[in-house]
Amino acid sequence: MTETNSQTTAMKGTVAVVGSLNMDLVVRVPRLPVAGETLAGHTFDQVPGGKGGNQAVAAARLGARVAMIGRVGADGNGASLRAGLQAEGIDCAALDTSEAAPTGVALISVDEEGRNSIVIVAGSNGELTPADIARHEAVLASANVIVCQLETPPDTVLAALKTGRRLGKTVILNPAPVIGPLPSDWLPLVDYLIPNEVEAAALTGLPIGSPAQAADAAQVLRRQGVRNVLITLGASGVLAALESGPTHFEAPRVTAVDTTAAGDTFIGAFAAQRAGGVAVDSAIRFAQRAAALSVTRPGAQPSIPTLSELT
C-alpha cells in the first residue's frame, strides 16, 4: 500500500465491515427503574446502531468505499437499517436477511444524569455464520481493510480474521464487548487491535488508569502476537503500541456533550484512512479529530462527522 502523510491526499480505499446492526430503542427516564417497577419515561427514539453499523457509517462518511457483511431480520427494523446504510452509500449486497430471527435490538434507558442501562438482543446478528463469510469472500477480497467487532458469533469473527489474513488484508479487530482474554490463536491474525481502556483491562487483567499503564497492557498484547495495539483512552487520547514502539497521542480538547460512538467513529475513521494509504500516525490523528468532533454532538450515528467537516 502506498503511504502518504497528507490526509487531504488520501485515496479512496475500500473498507469491509463484518459486524452487528441493531435498532437502538432509546427511552429517557427520570431514573433507572428497579426490579418490579413501572416508570413513566420522558421520550422514545428509534436510532440505527450496532457497533458494525456505526463503524461502517463512520468509514463511509470519512472517505472510504464501504461494504457491510452482516444480517438483519425480515422485518421493519431490518428494512430501515438497510435503507439507512444504503443512504450513506454503503454496499449492502452482502447484508443478508434472516427469515427466522428478528433484527437485533438494543433497549437503552438513559437517566437524567446521562447514566444508561442497556439490554442487547442479538437476533439476526447471532445468525451470521462462518459460511456467510465464505460466501462473501469476494467482498473481503476487494477491500483494503477489514474491520470486525465481537457483537457477532465468535466462530464468525474468527473466520473473518482468518480470511483477512489469508488474503493479505489489513485486519482491524475492535474487541467489544469483551469480558476476558481472547483465544491465543486470534491475536496473530490481527494487524490493529483497538480496545478502549475497559476492554484493554479485561483482555490483560491489568489496571489502565494512565497512558503508561496502557503502554504496559499494550506490550502484553503485542507479545501475544498482535502487530499493533491502539488503546483509546477517552479524553486522554490514544496509546499506540506500534511495531515501531509506543506513542501517546493526546486528544484534541473539546467540550464533550455525548461520548456515545466516540470509539466507533475513531475506528471507522482510522480504517478509512488506512484503506486510503495514509500513514499510521496521521491516520490516528485524523481519527482523533473525527472522534473529538463526534463527542461535541448528541447521539450515535447522527454525531459522526463527514470528511468535509474535517478538511
Where on the chain is the footprint of ligand ADP (CB under 6 A)?
196, 232-235, 237-238, 251-252, 254, 256, 259, 262-263, 266, 288, 291-292, 295
CA distance 87 to 156: 27
Q: Is 264 a known active-site residue?
A: yes
Nearer to ligand ADP, 58 or 60 (CB): 58
Strands 228-232 and 238-242: antiparallel
Nearer to ligand ADP, 126 or 234 (CB): 234
At its nearest, how many Å lie between ligand ADP and the CB of residue 230? 8
At its nearest, how many Å lie between ligand ADP and the CB of residue 249? 8
Please report, as a single letter, which amino acid is at residue 95: L
At its nearest, how many Å lie between ligand ADP and the CB of residue 231? 8
Nearer to ligand ADP, 53 or 102 (CB): 53
DSSP three-state, residue 41: coil
At its nearest, how many Å lie between ligand ADP and the CB of residue 116? 13
Nearer to ligand ADP, 242 or 256 (CB): 256
Sheet holding 116-121, edge to edge: 43-49, 22-28, 104-110, 116-121
Single out the catalytic residue among 24, 132, 191, 264.
264
Residue nearest to ligand ADP (CB): 263
Left (φ > 0), alpha (ψ -120 to 50) or beta: where does 69 sit?
beta
Q: Contact 303/261 with Cβ under 8 angstroms?
A: yes
Please report, in angstroms and rounded to a whole number, the separation of the first and last CA atoms in the chain: 23
Catalytic sites, residue numbers: 264
